[in-house]
Structure 1
Amino acid sequence: MVTLRSRISLLILILSGACLPTISLADDGLQTPPRTLMRLPGWIESMGDDAADASPADRGTIPRRGAPIDIAAKAGTKPAADWSHVTPVAAPVAKPTTPAPATGSTSGFRRWINERVAVLPKPTELSASTTPAEPTAGQPVAEPQPTVTAPIAVTPDEMPTLSIDPASFRGALPGKTTRQEIETAWGAGEAFTSEDGAAGLAWTIEPFERVEVRLEGEVASSISIKLAEPVPLGDLARQLEIADLRTVAVKDDQDIRIGEVYPERGVIISVEPGTSNATAILIEPLDADSFVLRAEGEIDKCSAYAVADLQYAIQIDPQHVRAQRLLLAMTSDQGKWRQALRLAESAGRLDPDDVWTKLKHAGVLVALNRPEEARVVLDRATALASSSPLVLAQTARLSGRIHLAQKSPDYQKAVDQFGEAIRRASPLLTKQSPALQAAAREVLLDAHLGTALAIAKGTWQQKSRVIPKWVSRADAVVKEFTGDEQERQVLELQLCRGALAVSAGSNEAIEPLPWVKRLLELRDTMGDGIGDPWRRRQMDWDVGQALADALTAAQKRGDATDMLDNATLTAAYLERGSEHRELTAAERKGLGELMFRIGIMHSLQRGDHPTAVTWFDRAIPLWDDNDRFDREGELGRLGESYVSMAISYWQVGRREDAVTLSRRGVDLMVAAVDKSQLEERALAVAYGNLATMYAEEGDDQQSKNYAEMASRAEATGTIR
């Protein structure tokens, strides 16, 4: 990333034609003398240059200069252009519903966008009053963007509330009612001792054949009710008013159902093996195991229900390790990193010798951009590791990722660790266990892609020859998989995302365009087969991350075609995928930068400040209270971004917001100057803009003060 020390000199933005309304304070409808123009930092000014849409004269008016900002949801990636000349292989899912713009690029990728996403929802619908009108040919300003719409319009279920209501029988509640209370209500029972040594009392109560109450001390531990004759399970459930509850089947060693569990009630109904005829009812205190068992069956069908079951299992049994591990895996998949970290720490305390938990714990810390802590946890896992080749392979693979995630990445060590992971995992593909094969395949895919990424980002010779070979080997891991189609699609999605990350790592790496095409075709196919809304969002997040890498890759190759459209599509997927995630500081920073860039392009390329402000309104909350800028030495960049956004807020009449943003930007820039992260002269733009704003508001004294501050800042020297 180009640092703030490499800022160019700040110039007054001289605009003509389509770009003049972008920053002029003059009202086109009033006959007033020309007024002072507000200014932009040079690196932000350069965002308005779209190589595809701008004429040569336009490009001369807004020269490309300065460094682009990062946009991907992880550190180190930059915004870029679109992916041109990509055409669909399959037929489009629907005809475009929005006509193409009168001017601009007609690249294959733009057609791909229209065909693939025309029927999908927008990331944020604009009201009719703020939606730009369709331009006529040759109209220089306020050109609307082509309709680029967001992924699948499916609202996930709210977190379900479990209907907890423990069942009782004739006033007796297992776990609470005493022997004396039962005998007082039912009469004296017949004492018995079961085969496992448990003591209890039995009664004959019409219309049942026998009712048994097991005792733990003097308290009922369970109630067993044997039916006089078999009853259809559905009829019995309706009679007991539990037919609407989700159940989980109990099966014997031959995988034949012998019972049905209703966890919220603590009820188990026994059935004749192989039939749906109920023979007995067992009532017990609510049991964490039953909720965990049901969650295991729901994980691939409805994540929300599975999470609710696991959370309740932990609530009634905080020591339930399996519930914590399952929830750890789910929260990691869903990007709920802070929850995942708490679960990893808790599960680790309950079972300090579990290697899987420590590997997962280290992975969560990597996702939270805490690689040093991840290394400590991984070292503990390594010390515990048995001779299991899978564990050794997983450990080596994660070690490689940690080397890549360090503040100063060690690409050579990363390559070495990925190579070790491949060596350990390769023989496991021939094992008979499907679970072992799946785990080994995941390691192999990630290790091959990790090696390619390390080479792309590091200093190596013959990158253009070596990198494609590693990506090709990763592709072979997916192509050689012959199992379940959904599992294959998940692997292919990981492949596409990894390949585009490699492409973004170096302009000597593989071209991004074929992988973008493959990614979006795969997204269409996968979307039809995933019914779980939460999993759709996980998929959309992965697609958005991959498209962000594609933007970076295109920029590194000097391709700025249709940047606005493709950045908007990327933001749509990332916004959609971020619902219900706990974004890390780096993810919030990156997503905000993408939205900021889109807003700036609307402002500079189209003179469309109302639309620009809608994007800024979404970017600012992602940046507020985000310490990532300070830790990365980018307070100055953040301040300049606020100052730039303020111009559009001013243009749409939100003057108080504009002044507030400008002053906030100034405070951040001053802090950056104090930390030697920003040249003092950069403040001239911010001070000058505030002077103009206060002059427009009639506050001559404040305007004069800021004008003098701008002059002093301008005189401090050039920005290198």
Structure 2
Amino acid sequence: MLRCPSASVVKPGFARASFLARGIVGLSLLFLCAISVTAAEKTADSKPGAAPRTLLRLPRWIESLGERAARKPAEQPAASARKSSPRGPLATSPQAVASQPIAPKALDTQPSDESFLEPITTEETLETEQANEIDIASTPASSSEGKPGRALLRSRTAAELDAHTTLTSGWGDLVGETTGTTLGADSDSLDLSDEPTPAKPNLGPETSVLKREALERVSVQPEPTTAAASSSARSSDSKAFTPPEQATPEQIPQGKKSVPAIAEQISSIPVQAEHGSDSIPPIATPPEETPTLAIDPASFRGVYPGKTTREELESGWGAGEPFTRQDGEAGFFWEIEPFDRIEVTLDGDTVGSIRIKLAAPVAVSELSKQLEIADLRTVSILDEDGVSIGEVFPERGVIFSVNPGTQSATAVMLEPLDPESFVLRSEGEMSESVAFAIADLHYAIEIDPKHLRAHRLLLVLMCEQGRWQQASRLATAAETLDPLDIWTRLKHASVLMALNRLEDAREKVAGVKAQENISPLVTAQADRMLGRIALASTSPDYQKAVSHFEEAIRKATPLSSNRSTSIQKAARDVLLDAHLGTALAIARGTWQQKSRVIPKWIARSEAILSEVKSDDTDRDMMELQLCRGALAASAGSADSIDALPWVKRLLETRDRLGEHTSDPWRQRQIDWEIGEGLSDALVASQKRGDASDMLDNATLTAAYLERGATLRELTDAERRNVGDLLFRIGILHSLQKGDHATAVTWFDKAVPLWNNNPSFATQGELGRLGESFVSMAISYWQVERREDALAISRKGVDFMVEAVDQKQLDERSLAVAYGNLSTMYAEEGDSDQSKTYAEMASRAEATGTKLQ
């Protein structure tokens, strides 16, 4: 009979916190043994001469996960090569306790004698006045040539999405009054409402993963609702977005005689660019997937700005009359009916721009319809007083000059495609549609590979979306364009941290901090990052982390009252993260008085948030950060922080964010954050021995993570952790409910996340990985996917053998894996292979080697 790796021969303490962080409820050994006996009898009847079967057993660290009684689970066997773990057990001997440092006291916003920091001196306070904010340089209001299209934009607001059905379970009952759909702890399926609440587009998974049908549990990711977004009005082979109703344009002279004439003479030239599915309304619904842009530069009477030469122009139009504008720009003009005047400027020997002065003002909406560009997203040009003076259609290179403050077009300008117009439009739409903003920034960089601001803005969006490989390339390019820019270097370091390139990140941050004459804000940000790097290391240095956070708080505290709003905001962010980081370092480290000190650091973090105005647009995201920090501390020290109130607060914050978040990309970003917070809450619950509703809660957590991961580039650590959670859910279904068919659907999603994942070797977890594969193989065998079961078992054995070679796993653990393979081959009728593995199992069992 098949059996899982035996716990009786494996030393406890194996798994690190990232695996425990996905620990859930547990397993029923009695049920599993019943399956083993039944299968053994069946096998014995069919193969009387087969090798004797062994009982199916699980390692204690897996078995204890599913015990319904409230008790603390057994620890996973520890890899001896790793001396310390980010969330390792505390020393319990009197000598160890006596040597533990006292946890640092929580700080007030203003330093006091009671804090463990020294009071800030007057000299340090004076530095506040000289602090410089770190920000992305703004776009110039105008170019050196005075061309329009460089002023700060205002972009049209995107339409609201329909509400999403919210999946809640267990923890979801905490906020059942505010969520659209609630799943009780004892429910097996989700009642999805057909009529979502229109005023509240709640975040969260859109598909239940708790349905009884096995096939319905395979995926919780929503199907894309739209393909490419920005495209030409002339694309007829695709589905267009439905524009909302728009206000009636003001009553102005229509100039109808000139509109058809200009429409007949302005055309476009196709370029080598991918076209989307159809045109987009000016007020566009944020797309689910990355849109493409329909790039068709406009021309007038066969003349193309940036392409047509002066000789070609004069050959077609004849000689023009020279003119010079008040700003010094010169060119030639023609009087062509029915237009008042056609002006052409030259850029060297090539047409630079065409300005068509209309005989009478025309409504912008009417003119854009006649030119077949009404469906394009525009960007408005504002003067220094914030008054609209023009509308730009970036994909066409078309600009409407309007009477200030009106929608009356007086002239049409045609110019070569300008990257600045795409950057400006992306800035205006960034908060409403990340997808459109990313598409615009990509094309701006394609036009001008040296456009620094486009690189920086796209870098920010890639980091927010978790696309770390793309972010790394953008950060490298941006740093090449401006090697001295501090913001870019620190942002690059944060990307390296996400990719677990901690030494490279530390070197980059240390280089910034070592610069001369840097502001206190930069120092605070650098120390905060160094503290996070110390926490994330394979062998964390918790005291060093606390020291860096201490320095960050020291520098940021006086800046929180700076006259500059942007500096106040940056300092506030540093203070919140440094306080939460200190709480986490204490929770994970070995300190005295942890249960008394950690709540004070969390309370101090809450006090920082309380100083933020309720109408501040960043408040809810800071609340999300606070909840995640508190839950992370609870996962590190479950006895110090009760996770349940923070889970409720986390889900309430998600609901508030859902009220004003219509962009599906930002919704997925928030989903990921919620899932990460719930993952830490699972750890805390497991450490406290709370097994109530754990399967439902774990499934809810997986739903948020899977949906949040839809567009992310998961790092190796993220792939490992998400795979851990999916594996645990599958194990629970197979052993707690006897549902192997459902179990393998979860395993099918976990295995690809674990394949070719070097983080297991880096963290010394190959043995745990191998035992997990061996355990999964049992469910594959039970559902008659025997080839998969054999392949997964062999892969598990390979990992276990490597772990034994590296002295990370007891050699006797291989006896279970070899015994299972022997049983499988015997039932397949391969007696030779069965005998070989049976002999290997006997030798491994007899070895009795113990790790020291």
Q: Which TM-score applies when normalising by structure 2?
A: 0.74
Q: Tell me how far 1:84 sits from its aligned partner.
A: 8.2
Aligned to 1:21: 35
Aligned to 2:446: 315
Evaluate the alpha carbon distance shift between residue 123 and residue 364 of structure 1 in structure 2; reply closer, same or farther with a 3 A threshold.
Answer: farther
Aligned to 1:107: none
Give, in whole Å, the separation in 2 of the partners of 1:23 and 1:495: 50
Q: Look up the equivalent residue of 1:42 and give its one-letter code.
A: P
Give, in whole Å, the separation in 1 of the partners of 2:584 and 2:417: 49
Aligned match for 1:553, one of 661, 668, 684: 684
Q: Is the 8 A contact 1:288 1:317 kept in 2?
A: yes
Aligned match for 1:257, one of 388, 393, 410: 388
2:643 paired with 1:515: no
2:717 paired with 1:574: no
Q: Tell me how far 1:14 sits from its aligned partner.
A: 10
Aligned to 2:729: 598
SS at match of 2:714: coil
2:64 paired with 1:50: no
Q: Is the 8 A contact 1:537 1:577 kept in 2?
A: yes
Q: Is the 8 A contact 1:385 1:391 kept in 2?
A: no
Q: Tell me how far 1:622 sits from its aligned partner.
A: 0.2
Q: Is the 8 A contact 1:83 1:561 kept in 2?
A: no
* Within-5 A mapping of 1:518-537: 518-537=649-668
Q: Bigger shift: 164-173 or 628-637?
A: 628-637
Q: Tell me how far 1:717 sits from its aligned partner.
A: 0.4
Q: Tell me how far 1:681 sits from its aligned partner.
A: 1.4
SS at match of 1:430: coil
Q: Look up the equivalent residue of 2:76 and give its one-letter code.
A: A
Q: Look up the equivalent residue of 2:68 and give its one-letter code.
A: A
Deviations 1:395-420 (A, max 9, x none): 22112112212222222222222122
Aligned match for 1:634, one of 765, 768, 773: 765
Report the number of matched residues.
672
Q: Is the 8 A contact 1:48 1:604 kept in 2?
A: no
Give, in whole Å, the separation in 2 of the partners of 1:365 and 1:216: 43
Give, in whole Å, the separation in 2 of the partners of 1:687 and 1:661: 13
Aligned to 2:475: 344
Deviations 1:432-488 (A, max 9, x none): 433222222211111111111112122222111211111111111112111535421
Deviations 1:239-284 (A, max 9, x none): 1111110111110111111111111111111111111101111111
Q: Look up the equivalent residue of 1:339 and give its one-letter code.
A: Q
2:452 paired with 1:438: no
Q: Tell me how far 1:77 sits from its aligned partner.
A: 6.4
Give, in whole Å, the separation in 1 of the partners of 2:812 and 2:573: 51
Aligned to 2:248: none
Q: Bigger shift: 421-430 or 467-476?
A: 421-430
2:790 paired with 1:659: yes
Q: Tell me how far 1:122 sits from its aligned partner.
A: 3.5
Q: Bigger shift: 612-621 or 459-468?
A: 459-468
Q: Tell me how far 1:163 sits from its aligned partner.
A: 0.7
Q: Is the 8 A contact 2:394 2:417 kept in 1?
A: yes
Pairwise CA RMSD: 3.3
SS at match of 1:88: helix
Q: Tell me how far 1:212 sits from its aligned partner.
A: 1.0
Evaluate the alpha carbon distance shift between residue 640 and residue 658 of structure 1 in structure 2; reply closer, same or farther with a 3 A threshold.
Answer: same
SS at match of 2:299: coil
Q: Bigger shift: 270-279 or 504-513?
A: 504-513
2:177 paired with 1:91: yes
Deviations 1:2-39 (A, max 9, x none): xxx9964179x995457623785359899869983563
Aligned to 1:100: 186
Q: Tell me how far 1:551 sits from its aligned partner.
A: 1.1
Aligned to 1:676: 807
Structure 1 unpaired stretches of 5+: 54-58, 103-115, 132-146
Q: Tell me how far 1:509 sits from its aligned partner.
A: 2.5
Q: Bigger shift: 525-534 or 292-301?
A: 525-534
Evaluate the alpha carbon distance shift between residue 151 and residue 662 of structure 1 in structure 2; reply closer, same or farther with a 3 A threshold.
Answer: closer
Q: Tell me how far 1:159 sits from its aligned partner.
A: 0.7
Give, in whole Å, the separation in 1 of the partners of 2:504 and 2:718: 19
Q: Tell me how far 1:563 sits from its aligned partner.
A: 2.1
Q: Is the 8 A contact 2:170 2:696 kept in 1?
A: no
Q: Is the 8 A contact 2:741 2:779 kept in 1?
A: yes
Evaluate the alpha carbon distance shift between residue 630 and residue 17 of structure 1 in structure 2; reply closer, same or farther with a 3 A threshold.
Answer: closer
Deviations 1:71-124 (A, max 9, x none): xxxx9569xxx998996367253564779359xxxxxxxxxxxxx999963465
Q: Look up the equivalent residue of 1:608 and give its one-letter code.
A: D
2:419 paired with 1:405: no
Deviations 1:323-349 (A, max 9, x none): 000011111111111111111111001
Give, in whole Å, the separation in 2 of the partners of 1:708 and 1:29: 20
Evaluate the alpha carbon distance shift between residue 452 and residue 350 of structure 1 in structure 2; reply closer, same or farther with a 3 A threshold.
Answer: same
Aligned match for 1:455, one of 553, 572, 586: 586
* Within-5 A mapping of 1:195-206: 195-206=326-337
Evaluate the alpha carbon distance shift between residue 554 and residue 379 of structure 1 in structure 2; reply closer, same or farther with a 3 A threshold.
Answer: same
Q: Tell me how far 1:128 sits from its aligned partner.
A: 4.0
Give, in whole Å, the separation in 2 of the partners of 1:386 and 1:312: 37
Evaluate the alpha carbon distance shift between residue 616 and residue 89 of structure 1 in structure 2; reply closer, same or farther with a 3 A threshold.
Answer: closer
Q: Tell me how far 1:528 sits from its aligned partner.
A: 2.4
Give, in whole Å, the separation in 1 of the partners of 2:510 and 2:6: 39
Evaluate the alpha carbon distance shift between residue 242 and residue 22 of structure 1 in structure 2; reply closer, same or farther with a 3 A threshold.
Answer: farther
Evaluate the alpha carbon distance shift between residue 662 and residue 302 of structure 1 in structure 2; reply closer, same or farther with a 3 A threshold.
Answer: same
Structure 2 unpaired stretches of 5+: 12-26, 80-84, 89-167, 189-200, 226-286
